[in-house]
Structure 1
Amino acid sequence: MAIDWIGFSYAATLALGGVLGYTRKGSIVSLIAGLFFGALAGYGAYCVTCDPRDVKISLYAAFILATVMGIRYRRSRKLMPAGMIAFLSVVMILRLILSLL
């Protein structure tokens, strides 16, 4: 059983981003969303670790984040955090889809 280090790193990045958004800007929404999606992505990475074909949770979390943050990036043109999270989420989607092939 191979551990999904990339998935766990993605989850940690999301959670850390939420904490940083809270500490720097005082945004409770960033804290809640970051911790929620970090936990969801972490659970998804755990599922992929147990069964490499069980990518549903990870795929849903990455798809939602890619969509929402992609829209935010398109509106604001700010690379941080919207552009970076949208990019990382698209990379995760591609990685998960390619792992099924």
Structure 2
Amino acid sequence: MALSDEERRRLEKLEQELASSDPDLYRTLQSGAPRTNRREAAATVWGALALIGAFTLVIVGIAAELIIVGAVGFLLMVAAANWLLRGYGPQGGHKESP
């Protein structure tokens, strides 16, 4: 749906007001939404699957009363959680200055 001339003028006026009142926000909005890296998305998916598998191993170790299986499952669960959370790094890389 196309904008009318009046709507387009109003939008341009709002854009100019935003650019003059908050230039940092204006630049951030102009740059668009940060894109996610496919490698980070894959790390998140594989981390979640590994976490589920390791948790299953912990449950099997408890059910079978095998401490070593439960301990290995727990260590794998910690590693998988680390792998999962690597995919949730800061987006855009913007750092706030003090």
The structure whose Rg is larger is 2
Q: What TM-score, normalized by structure 1, do the two folds share?
A: 0.41
Give the structure, 1 or 2, with the largest relative contact order (CA under 8 Å, sep 6 or more): 2
